[in-house]
Amino acid sequence: MSRTVLTREQVLEAADDLVRQHGPDALTMRGLAARLGTAVTSIYWHVGNRESLLDALVERTVEEMGAIQPTGRTPATRIVSVARRLRGELHARPHLIAMVHERGLTERVFLPAQRALVREAHTAGLRGARAAEAVRAVQFQVVGFVLVECARGLAPAETPGRERPRKTASTRKDPALARALARPADPDRLFTASMRALVKSLLAQGGT
């Protein structure tokens, strides 16, 4: 695996693989060196240290995520389409986006999508601070949702019912509700539903 000379790009590539498969904790300098068939210290020459290696990985990820084209006819559906695509992209790299996030670079990841969102908000009639707020609300909603999903996905598994949902006046009178809450949530449905709900309200403000 190390026929030619070691290059910074090779180091980044191997590190990216490791993080994408087993998470940041699995990335150890020694393990990486072993994987590349070199001494640990060579890696330090190419990337500085572990922290700046992670920085470089994050930078890479940020650049990989390109612009996103909206689809649909109304501004509302177009915004929701951007949100869903964004979620898809983030979903493909759960560990990386967590790292992007820890480094406070979330805004950067969102810049390309932000332009599309701004355009849609504008054609929907939102202006000024109100438009900005709508755009940001959508951004926060998307990242927030994905973060929740990631944590859930990487966790061992939601211990279900250890402390089962209590029967309350409301759930006793509405067994369908009780059943729905007992089932684990369907993230896809939930995402689309709450995204639609949010966008609908945000754009409605523009009409008035």
User: Which residues contact its own copies by CB under 8 A?
Assistant: 101-108, 111, 114-115, 118-119, 121-122, 127-129, 131-133, 135-137, 140-141, 143-145, 147-148, 151-152, 154-159, 162-163, 165-166, 168-171, 173-174, 176-177, 180-181, 185, 189-190, 193-194, 196-198, 200-202, 205
Q: Is 38 in the site for DNA (CB under 7 A)?
A: yes
Least Å from the CB of residue 85 to its own copies:
18
Tokens, residue 191: 């995402």
**What is 34-71 written as a DSSP string?**
HHHTS-HHHHHHHHSSHHHHHHHHHHHHHHHS------
Is residue 79 within 8 A of residue 70, CB to CB? The reply is yes
Q: Is 118 in the site for DNA (CB under 7 A)?
A: no
Q: Which does 127 bind (CB under 5 to 8 A by kind): its own copies, DNA, none?
A: its own copies
Q: Which does 88 bind (CB under 5 to 8 A by kind): its own copies, DNA, none?
A: none
Q: Is 200 in the site for DNA (CB under 7 A)?
A: no
Q: Is 6 in the site for DNA (CB under 7 A)?
A: yes
Least Å from the CB of residue 59 to DNA:
17
Q: Which does 30 bind (CB under 5 to 8 A by kind): its own copies, DNA, none?
A: DNA
Q: How far apart are CA 137 and CA 146, in angstroms?
A: 14
Q: Is 122 in the site for DNA (CB under 7 A)?
A: no
Q: Which does 6 bind (CB under 5 to 8 A by kind): DNA, its own copies, none?
A: DNA
Q: Is 39 in the site for DNA (CB under 7 A)?
A: yes
- The single residue listed with the structure tokens 């001494």 is 39
Q: Is 102 in the site for DNA (CB under 7 A)?
A: no
Write the CB contacts of 13 (distance below 8 Å, at least 6 apart in sequence): none
- The single residue listed with the structure tokens 């949530």 is 185
152: nearest Cα among 199, 191, 111: 191
Is residue 91 within 8 A of residue 83, CB to CB? The reply is no
- CB-based burial label for 97 (10 Å; 0-12, 13-18, 19+): buried
Tokens, residue 22: 């087993």
Task: State which of residues 12, 20, 23, 29 lies at the interface with DNA (CB under 7 A).
Answer: 29
Binding residues for DNA, rule: CB under 7 A, are: 5-6, 27-31, 38-42, 44-46, 49-51
